[in-house]
Structure 1
Amino acid sequence: MKKSLVALAVGTFSLGISEFGMMGILSDVASGVGVDIATAGHLVSAYSLGVAVGAPMLIAMRRLPLKRLMLLLSAVIAIGNAVAAAAPGFYTLVCARFISGLPHGAFFGAGAIVCSRLADNGHGAKAVAVMIGGMAIANVAGVPAATFISNIFSWRAAFAIVMIFSVLTFAGLKVWMPFLEVSPDNGVKGQFRFLRGTAPWLIYGGVFFGQAGVYCWLSYIEPIMTGVTGFSPADMTWVMMLVGLGMVVGNALSGRLADRYHASLVCGFIAVAMVVVMPLIYFCSGYKVPSLVLSFLAAAALFGIGGPLQYLIVRFAKGGEMLGGAGIQIAFNVSNAFSAAIGGAAINHGLGIASPALIGGPFAIVGAIMLFMLYRDYGTRGA
């Protein structure tokens, strides 16, 4: 495995802790900065806003050599989390979270191009899977470890951990990543020209709806597992590690399959599988073993869909590859927020705590349709 890909994986590992780690320490952070839980929730939103704002900023950095761009993004991640670790109050922490989110989409967008350039012939999707695998591993080990350490010392430790791994990413890219030529500059308008085609919109739609089908349920996994399935709050540590393991397996397996078959076809079948799995999660929510097996499969699908499409968008975003790749992360984060709201509305309307899993099925259907349309229209061109 190329060392530069390992450095990229360390970067996404740090981003995984930065994005998902807040959920495990939110109460401690709220207490530490003197706000209530509802107000502390803005720290999650601030990060997502940073992701959405930062991705289009790639347009201004399109002329930077890829190595210099990746080093800059790694540095911003480190700086944002260093400020968060030392934040004296809530508003400083909000600003730090926003800054930390700015490089997120750009790192994935530019990183996908780096992977496609560095990958051996016919192994582009696998290379992107290695990069995204860092985020999957973060959910297995990084987030639980950061939460554990923060509980022992301070909530600030979680941000310090992200900063350390970001510095390691910077050092790894500095030493191992070769110089790569800048992509041809097509001007500002040229960066958006790829959006005139239908393929990018089908890819974004596949990400949005395919992952929304899972996120409707995943956003409420803790109350479902404890309130319906019967696990204790203490059990949730290893339950979430199992979910994270599913992400790792799904990401690795789909990356290999996408290099062997058409990426859009692989992702389409994964979305179809979720049309079956999500209702099963709902109907089996009262049984522990089936719930665990189905949770593993759903988590595998979540990252199984995202990885190949992150690679595929680069091939359909000619002239705006970095913006196209960053757009996947925008779709991912907007899907996360949207599906959480839909799942919450189902619960509030009296459909039951487990109902978000049932609501996720129709979204998976829409995602599957869009991905099969992508294969139908562009499969002969390598979609």
Structure 2
Amino acid sequence: MENKKLLTLTLGGLSIGTTEFVMMGILPQVAKDFAITIPEAGHFIASYALGVVIGAPLFAITCSKLPPKKLLLILMSIFTLFNGLTALSTGHTMMVFTRLMSGLPHGAFFGVGSVVAARLATKGKEAAAMSIMFAGLTIANIAMVPLGTYIGLHYSWRYVFAIIAVLGLLTVIFIAKVLPALPANPSGSIQKELGIFKRPMVWLMILITAIGTGGLFAWISYIAPMLTGITHFNASAVPYVMIVAGIGMFVGNILGGKLADKLAPENALLISLVAVATSLLLDYFFADNQLMTIVGTFLTGAASFALIAPIQILMIRIASDAEILGASATQAAFNIGNAIGAFAGGLPIAAGFGYSSPILIGILMVLIGIALTLGLIQMRQRSLKAKVITAKC
């Protein structure tokens, strides 16, 4: 029964994942429709990411006293409304605004959803429960993003956002009908919520998320020109390679949840980051080999999404008295990692080092994430020892 309830969150993840990633595939059609350049159309991607970064802490702080179910209903209602308005956008300014507003609920939904999943889970299986919700993101990359790209190319990009709005509406209905009414945090307050940012381990988690996962975005942001320019795939094959990455993300997300339940989540996080660095090395050294590139794409997608559940469960434990804000903050950090990775990965290309060079930037970012995680593990060990000594006294 628990898993059936969690599928409601999976549907929300599918809706959000589709609207976040489909814009990359339909950008030329949107730009043509509005008679703007591709870089100008890129503002629609940036405005959504900005919405995520703003909305994640905003909702988590201001709505901390609301019951989780009610907050999820509010978030998905906003999501549905503004994706519907995106389909009706008349120009650049309106599109930037609707995309910004569509992004606001993103981080808070996954933050609240992570807490709900943990509360509904059998003890010891909290991370696996969270991975069920995040499976929606991976399914979006496997199925909905390619489908949306096809619809945008052959029919209209507006239909894509209309479909997303329908998915959002279905999510609202299922949340109302299926999810149980869990109690709000009775001691929640803005001052107490913000107090978690005085903890060094919270900031370490934000840095690990933003920098460590940024390695994925340094690689995947420039994978298309690498596939055509270095691996010599035909441009028509790129979407199929991206589906391979999506399948890897789906598998890695599930495995990451199981790993974080079997091990201490900080150890699961370290193992996953090492796996990301290793797979990125494989991507770099075999960038001119088609078969190995497909293998490496699957492994990098899997290793990167294996990070999600350990990060979420670890942040919830570190920020236990403001768990929704903590879980939402990591979602904002993921999107900061997206921006940092994409920007940093473009620098060596601009300097003339070729389309495989962003992978080296990605490896460097993941190595920094590994170093920060080792520091976090030491801090956690010292904290636990201090608690044991205090308890004995």
| TM-score under structure 1 length normalisation | 0.96
1:30 corresponds to: 31
Look up the match of 2:22: 21
The one-letter code of the counterpart of 1:49 is: L
**1:39 match:** 40
Between the aligned partners of 1:3 and 1:295, the Cα distance in structure 2 is 31
Q: Which residue of 1 aligns with 2:57?
A: 56
The correspondence of residues 186-335 of structure 1 with structure 2, limited to 5 A, is: 186-335=188-337
Letter in 2 for 1:378: R
Question: Which residue identity does 1:157 align to in structure 2?
Answer: Y
1:224–1:353 CA contact under 8 A, matched in 2: yes
Shift of 1:34: 1.8
What's the CA shift string for 1:182-240, capped at 9, x where partnerless?
11334212111122222222222221222112221111000001110011111011101
TM-superposed CA distance for 1:280, in Å, is 2.5
Q: Which amino acid aligns with 2:328?
A: A
Cα distance in 2 for partners of 1:310, 1:265 equals 13
Distance 1:214 1:49 in 2: 19
Match of 1:143 in 2: 145
Name whichever of 76-85 and 57-66 sits farther off. Answer: 57-66
**Which has the higher mean CA deviation after the structures are superposed, 185-194 or 17-26?**
185-194
Displacement of 1:72: 0.7
Task: Give the drift of 1:381.
Answer: 5.1
CA contact (8 A) 1:210 1:305 kept: no
One-letter code of the match for 1:223? P
Q: Could you tell me whether the CA contact under 8 Å between 1:194 and 1:320 is conserved in 2?
A: yes
Contact 2:65–2:189 under 8 Å retained in 1:
no
What is the deviation of 1:359?
1.8
Hey, what's the Cα distance between the residues in 1 that align with 2:264 and 2:125? 12
Please, what is the CA RMSD of the aligned residues? 1.5
Alignment correspondent of 1:339: 341
Q: In the alignment, which of 332, 336, 348 is matched to residue 350 of structure 2?
A: 348
Residue segments in structure 1 that go unaligned for 5+ positions in a row: none
How many angstroms apart in 2 are the aligned matches of 1:240 and 1:277? Answer: 16
For each residue in 1:23-44, what CA deviation from the matched residue of structure 2 results, as whole angstroms up to 9, or x when unmatched? 0000000111221111111000
CA distance in 1, matches of 2:184, 2:172: 19
Unpaired segments ≥5 residues, structure 2: 386-393
Q: Does the aligned pair in 2 maintain the 1:262–1:375 contact within 8 Å?
A: no
Contact 2:269–2:307 (Cα < 8 Å) also in 1: yes
Range that drifts further, 359-368 or 284-293: 359-368
Distance in 1 (CA, whole Å) between partners of 2:29 and 2:230 is 26
Question: 220-229 or 299-308, which moves further after superposition?
Answer: 299-308
**Alignment correspondent of 1:185:** 187
- Is the CA contact (8 Å cut-off) linking 1:207 and 1:306 kept in structure 2? no
Q: 1:368-383 maps to which residues of 2 (within 5 A)? A: 368-378=370-380
Specify the SS of the correspondent of 2:320: coil
Distance in 2 between the 1:267 and 1:318 partners? Answer: 18
C-alpha deviation, 1:376, in angstroms? 3.0
Superimposed CA distance per residue, residues 112-137 of structure 1 (whole angstroms, 9 cap, x where no aligned partner): 11111111111100011001110011
Deviation at residue 323 of structure 1 after TM alignment: 1.3
Matching of residue 117 in structure 1 with residue 133 in structure 2 = no
Q: CA deviation at 1:244?
A: 0.3
Deviates more, 1:280-289 or 1:18-27: 280-289
Counterpart CA distance in 2 for 1:56 and 1:377 is 25
Q: What percentage of aligned pairs have identical amino acids? A: 37
Displacement of 1:358: 1.5
Q: Deviation of residue 360 (structure 1)?
A: 1.5
Q: Secondary structure of 2:213's match?
A: helix
Task: Please give the secondary structure, in 1, of the residue aligned with 2:124.
Answer: coil
Q: Distance in 1 between matches of 2:103 and 2:277?
A: 32
Residue of structure 2 equivalent to 1:129: 131
Q: State the one-letter code of the partner of 1:263.
A: P
Q: Deviations over 1:91-150 (max 9, x none)?
A: 111111011001001101111111111111111000110011100111111111111122
State how far apart, in whole Å, the 2-side matches of 1:328 and 1:114 are: 16
SS at match of 2:306: helix
Asked whether the equivalents of residues 195 and 317 of structure 1 are also in contact (C-alpha less than 8 Å), the reply is no
Which residue does 2:89 correspond to in 1?
A: 87
CA distance in 2, matches of 1:250, 1:95: 34
Runs ≥4 residues deviating over 4 A: 379-382
Structure 2: distance between partners of 1:212 and 1:33 = 31
